[in-house]
Copies of this chain bind each other. A is one copy, B any other.
Amino acid sequence: MYPDPMALAQVRDVATHAGVSPATVSNALNHPEKVSETTRRRVQAAIDELGYVRNDAARQLRQRHNTAVGMIVLDVANPFFADVVRGAEDSLGVHRRPVLVGNSGQDAERELAHLRLFEEQRVSGLLISPVGDVLDRLREISGRGTPVVLVDRHHGDDDFPSVAVDDELGGRMAAEHLLDQGRRRLTMIGGPTSIRQVAQRRAGAQAAVDAVAGATLTTIDTGAMDVESGRTGARRLLAEDAAARPDAIFAANDLVALGALQELVRAGVRVPEDVALIGYDDIEFAASATVPISSVRQPALEMGERAAALLVAAVDDPDAPPEHPRFTPTLVARESTLGG
């Protein structure tokens, strides 16, 4: 079906060219200390001359070991996850492990496809921030020998290590901050609520609201968590009766907050005077928005680094008890919630 790649040089060609055996070529490449200086140089010269490029599939098949690590994230276009990935890459780079990144885009099917692909590739480990209901699937994969580390998520009964931030606490911090500013009619924008992060942040906010008499929390489920969803959510909110309108918005993440802000500004609604606005993640762009956006900060880089470290530990010792480090979110108050 596809054109045959032209005849590439193989170990045996290199061997012939250098006047040694294939085994020696392989040793020169993989165990240089086993080969004499002279031979090594002759082999290298032959490699350069022939433009030999090792076939990784054959190598992996024989070695029964793939150094690469697979990473599946909710949304690569979200700067928060971009930073988590960067943290993992930095950490794994030290161990000379390439990171293959798969983007689920909050789509459960794409998530499954990536899981399958990575397992077929026999990656040495898997880092994942799950969208769908894949815990059973992950248990199977892990049971077959591929270590799994959960990123940005933790179940009490998890069989695998995880790195998480206390989302319930974060949600509570966001809501308490809004309440402290005198706001009482809160709305949360984001979704889908089936995503654990969203549900937990909402639960935390609900707890804070319940503790204050007369305070309320409603929800606008946008089904996604990008800038466009923020715009949609804000539009739905603006369609409501102005009198009943909330006086504070808790956006499930900063992308949503940015979209909501755009729409509010366009509609002439003043932030924070008419509506206070707080986001989540504290991505770089929150601070430089039209109105600088308050946010609940998560340590993205550190989370990625730590997750990678847990994975390397699990690869080295599959029987070690799983750790579940938990990071604490911090509130970053800016103009969008202050001085309203």
A53 close to chain B: CB less than 8 A: yes
Tell me which of B56, B65, B77, B289 contacts A288 (CB under 8 A): B289
Render A140-176 as a binary contact track against B, CB cut-off 8 A, 1 for contact.
1001111000000000000000000000000000000
Stretch at the interface among A1-9, A36-44, A127-135, A208-216: A1-9
**A83 an interface residue at 8 Å Cβ cutoff?**
yes
- Residues in chain B near residue A59, CB distance under 8 A: 120
| Structural contact, A65 and B261, CB atoms closer than 8 A | no
Residue from B4, B5, B55, B124 in contact with A120 in the complex, judged by beta carbons closer than 8 Å: B55
Residue of chain B at shortest CB distance from A316:
B2
Q: A5-B64, A76-B76, A83-B77 are in contact. Are A53 and B120 (CB under 8 A)?
A: yes
Q: What's the Cα separation between A141 and B102 when bound, in Å?
A: 25
Tell me the bound Cα distance from A335 to B326 in angstroms: 42
What separation, in Å, do the CA atoms of A24 and B287 have in the docked complex?
A: 60
Closest residue to A119 on the B side, CB-wise? B53
Residues of B within 8 A of A6 (CB): 144-145
Are B82 and A77 in touch, CB under 8 angstroms?
A: yes
A19 proximal to B (CB < 8 A): no
CA distance A4 to B92 in the complex (A): 21
Within 8 Å by CB of A290, from B58, B117, B262, B289, lies B289
Q: Which of A56, A86, A145 has the most CB of B within 10 A?
A: A56
**Distance in Å from the Cβ of A319 to the closest Cβ of chain B?**
9
Question: Does any Cβ of B come within 8 Å of A57's Cβ?
Answer: yes
The residue on B at minimum CB distance from A7 is B145
Assess whether B55 is in contact with A61, with CB atoms less than 8 Å apart.
yes
Is A16 part of the contact surface with B, judged by Cβ < 8 Å? no
Which residue of B76, B262, B318 is within 8 Å of A287 (Cβ)? B262
CB-based contact B318/A3 at 8 Å? yes
Q: In the complex, are the beta carbons of A5 and B288 less than 8 A apart?
A: no
Inter-chain contact B51/A140, CB cutoff 8 Å: yes
Q: Does A313 contact B (CB under 8 A)?
A: no
Which residues of chain B are near A5, meaning CB under 8 Å? 64, 122, 144-146
Beyond the given pairs A5-B144, A77-B83, A290-B291, 5 more chain A to chain B contacts, judged by CB atoms under 8 angstroms and listed by A's residue number, are A5-B145, A51-B140, A53-B119, A77-B86, A290-B292
